[in-house]
Amino acid sequence: MWRKEDAKSQGVPEISTAPAESPAPVSNAKAVNVAGPVNSSSPASISQGIRIKGEVIGKEDLFIDGHIDGKLDLGGASVTIGPNGSIKADISAREVIVRGTVTGKVSARDRVQLWSTGRVEGEVQTDRLAIEDGAILRGKVEAGKPLNKANEAAVNSAAAAAAAGSGKAAL
């Protein structure tokens, strides 16, 4: 008589008498994690086909290759205007890199950098300003650390005292 144990020893597959369940589909494709880990160092981006009218506020680095009309406030973050980017807005950020076109006031706490393809029309305020050959900048520029009121008053009073002192010596 035939027994299950004999079938296993001979390499014959065991046949189950349990009700058959529908088999799961088999796929050779590898599973892709759509959500995936988010890289916090990569900047958010506004691509070439996007147009925004209004106010953009954030705390993350931003790359813009699209169009923005309005106001852009990124506080302590960096904003890069790509070669296809066109901004008609006041920009406030820690760092502003211009490879495209900006019309408006650019205010950067640390640095403004204009690449050779960059164009800015308006006011620029920053501690450090870098302009590559070929870049266009039309407007008012305030670069360098601003004097605080106490230092400015001291410089003005020292200059006035020096002028007054030299005037007395001439009499």
Domain ranges in the chain are: 44-143
Question: Interior CA angle at 98 toward 127 and 112, to 5°?
Answer: 5
In the prediction, which pLDDT does 66 show?
93
Whether the per-residue pLDDT at 164 is higher than 90: the answer is: no
Pairing of β 106-114 and β 78-81: unpaired
Query: What average pLDDT score do residues 146-156 get?
Result: 58
Query: What average pLDDT score do residues 120-126 get?
Result: 95
* Closest of 115, 114, 135 to residue 126, by C-alpha: 114
10-43 pLDDT, tens digit per residue, is 555 555 555 555 555 544 544 444 444 455 567 8
56-114 pLDDT, tens digit per residue, is 999 999 999 999 999 999 988 999 999 999 999 999 999 999 999 999 999 999 999 99
Query: Distance between CA atoms of 88 and 102, rounded to whole angstroms?
Result: 6
Residues 6+ apart with CB under 8 A from 51: 66, 67, 68, 69
In the prediction, which pLDDT does 158 show?
56
Query: Distance between CA atoms of 14 and 24, rounded to whole angstroms?
Result: 20
Contact between residue 104 and residue 87 where contact means Cβ atoms under 8 Å apart: yes
In the prediction, which pLDDT does 43 show?
81
Taking the whole predicted model, whether its pTM rises above 0.75 is answered as: no
- What backbone torsions phi and psi does residue 152 show, to the nearest 5 degrees? -65, -40
Tell me which H or E stretch contains 151. Answer: helix 149-170
- Which two structure tokens, joined as six digits, stand for 145? 């650390």
